[in-house]
Amino acid sequence: MTKRYFGTDGIRGRVGEPPITPDFMLKLGWACGRVFAAGEGGDGRPTVIIGKDTRVSGYMFESALEAGLVAAGVDVKLLGPMPTPAVALMTRTQRARAGIVISASHNPFEDNGIKFFDAGGHKLGDEVELAIEDELEKPLETVSSDAIGKAVRVVDAAGRYIEFCKSTVPDRFSLRGLKLVVDCANGATYHIAPSVFAELGAEVIAMGAVPDGFNINREVGSTNPAALSKRVVEEGADLGIAMDGDGDRVLFVDQHGKLVDGDELLFIIARHRRAKGVVGTLMSNLGMELALKELGIDFARARVGDRYVNELMQERGWRLGGESSGHIICADLTTTGDGIVAALQVLVALRAAETDMASLKSGMTKYPQHMINVRVAGQVNLDDNADLQAAVADTESELGDRGRVLLRASGTEPVVRVMLEGEDAGEVETLCGQLAERVSGLLGN
């Protein structure tokens, strides 16, 4: 069955435009409550955890979801602004039936969305998402008054998550002597990430840590690392750490202000851990795959999206996976991508190697990549479009065995991503531009 509302990572869109509206969120809360109440696991009335990032619309949608859930007879625990991985953690530790995150991750404040976790802290499977969509088609009916759910706020959620993050490193591990600039993207980690690194001994300079509801991801964070790079150099810091709006991604900046992306971070962690295997995605840099191969570490590519990375990790029995964007999953520590936990694993590797970041990442040589987003009016089926496939084949023919071509529709934005990778940066950029122009024309732009 084709899903009407759920995309790669929950439901996302522009605030005020269907389905990101208060009335839909009320119905969504009710539909989720119906599905979770009927699901297996736990005794008595089910509980659902709700967390959110710092965008102003989160308060509106939190209230609407809460109302829908309690109308379905489900109890609710409200965490307030909390990183996405913290919601996954609290869902497990609070023995809740499910967790809900109100966030549009790295998108601007005008967007918002809903992400879900099951009782084990994993993203929902397709069958559960389809069941929720089925309930959305039914009329909303409130349970009897004696069965209405209750809502409470969890006042110590931030402290619990800070202690969890610190517990993921060895007991006597210390960051003493390191000067870190920590960019919280004015998002959900603003009151957590600086404390974690500081309590482990680092000198922390926080930036992007004064959210006002509108400035999330604005010229800060992992999608806008230029300000962090500049600040690291100005402060003479050892490293910069950039979170995204909901705290499930992380990128680094080395002491020279040079960006260290998710592929390089994943390689650093894998090498330190002597991992059996690593799961990347179709977007992962070929240089990482080759560097891991030299170390005798197996590598596999999943579809783009952390849920697909996680699924392939479970299938292979591997503990490490991630995306170029900095969405890194350490399955022995967490059930989902966690920017703070991943950053700590990089720092553990850094301390063990007794070197600096610029030297630590030198074991991997990235191949030049170039990507262009082609905007589209709606959903497109790339596999069934013969003209698009012919365009890709033509580009692959020109590139030969010197690289690879990837064309895919985004699951979170109305764009088709055109990506080329190869040995020669100039050739890659030129061919990518030509293919993007051709794709745009074929899609009627």
| Residue 426: pLDDT band with limits 50, 70, 90 | very high
Verify cis geometry, omega within 30 degrees of 0, for the bond prior to 83: no
My answer on whether 223 and 358 are in the same domain is yes
Among the candidates 337, 363, 389, a domain finishes at 363
Residue 4 lies in a domain: no
Report the pLDDT averaged over residues 433-442: 93
CA 234 to chain centre: 29
Active site positions, annotated: 105
- Judgement on whether residues 85 and 179 belong to the same structural domain of the protein: no
Mean pLDDT of 322-350: 97
Domain residues for the domain of 379 are 369-442
- 20 within domain boundaries: yes
321 in the same domain as 202? yes
Q: Please say if the pLDDT value at position 245 is more than 60.
A: yes
Q: Could you give the CA distance from residue 277 to residue 86 in angstroms, rounded to a whole number?
A: 26
237 in the same domain as 112: no
d(CA 225, CA 220): 6
Let me know: does 307 contact 9? Beta carbons within 8 Å: yes
Cα–Cα distance, 305 to 92 (Å, whole number)? 22
Q: Would you state the pLDDT for residue 413?
A: 76
Q: Is the same domain home to 52 and 138?
A: yes
pLDDT digits (tens, 9 = 90+) for 89-133: 999 999 999 999 999 999 999 999 999 999 999 999 899 999 999
Distance between CA atoms of 183 and 210, rounded to whole angstroms?
A: 11
Instruction: Report d(CA 113, CA 20) in Å as an integer.
Output: 7
Which residue intervals of 2-147 are DSSP H helices? 22-38, 57-71, 84-93, 126-136
Q: Where residue 434 sits, what CATH number does that domain have?
A: 3.30.310.50
User: Are 172 and 288 within one domain?
Assistant: yes
Q: Is position 3 within any domain? A: no
Domain tally for the chain? 3
> Can you read off the two tokens belonging to residue 326?
């900095």
Same-domain check for residues 36 and 138: yes
Name the phi and psi angles at 31, rounded to 5. -60, -45
**pLDDT classification of 412: cutoffs 50, 70, 90:** low
Choosing from 363, 391, 419, the residue where a domain stops is 363
What's the pLDDT score for residue 445?
Answer: 63
Residues 6+ apart with CB under 8 A from 271: 295, 297, 349, 363
The predicted pLDDT at position 384 comes to 83
CATH number of the structural domain spanning residue 320 = 3.40.120.10
292 and 418: one domain? Answer: no
User: Does the pLDDT value for residue 1 go beyond 70?
Assistant: no
Sign (positive or negative) of CA dihedral 6, 7, 11, 16 = negative
* 19's tokens: 């389905």
Instruction: Tell me if 225 sits within 8 A of 259, measured CB to CB.
Output: yes
Mean pLDDT of 264-269: 98
Residue 320: CA atoms inside 13 Å, Cβ hemisphere, count? 25
Same domain for 409 and 353 = no
In Å, what is the CA distance from 33 to each residue of 4, 63, 203? 19, 14, 44
Q: Is residue 1, in this structure, part of any structural domain at all?
A: no
Helix (H) or strand (E) holding 193: helix 193-199
Alpha-carbon distance of 212 to 195, in angstroms, equals: 20
Same domain, 358 and 380: no
Q: What is the pLDDT of residue 408?
A: 87
Strands (DSSP E) contained in 73-210 are 75-81, 98-102, 111-118, 151-153, 179-183, 203-207
Does 49 fall in a domain? yes
| Residue 199, domain member (yes or no) | yes
Q: What is the mean pLDDT of residues 402-418?
A: 85
CA–CA–CA angle 117, 122, 125 (5° rounding): 80
Let me know: does 6 contact 406? Beta carbons within 8 Å: no
User: In this structure, are 306 and 412 located in the same domain?
Assistant: no
**Token pair of 168 as six digits:** 């993921």
Out of 310, 329, 363, a domain closes at 363
Break the chain down into helix, strand, coil percent, rounded to 5.
40, 20, 40
Q: Residue 14: is its pLDDT beyond 70?
A: yes
Q: Check whether residue 352 and residue 383 sit in a common domain.
A: no
Q: What's the whole-number average pLDDT of the chain?
A: 94
Q: Is residue 2 part of a domain?
A: no
Question: Tell me, what's the pLDDT at 108?
Answer: 95
pLDDT given at position 41: 55
Per-residue pLDDT tens for 30-46? 999 999 988 765 567 89
Q: Give a yes or no: residue 282 inside a domain.
A: yes
| pLDDT tens readout for residues 40-91 | 655 678 999 999 999 999 999 999 999 999 999 999 999 999 999 999 999 9
Considering only CA atoms, give the Rg of the chain.
22
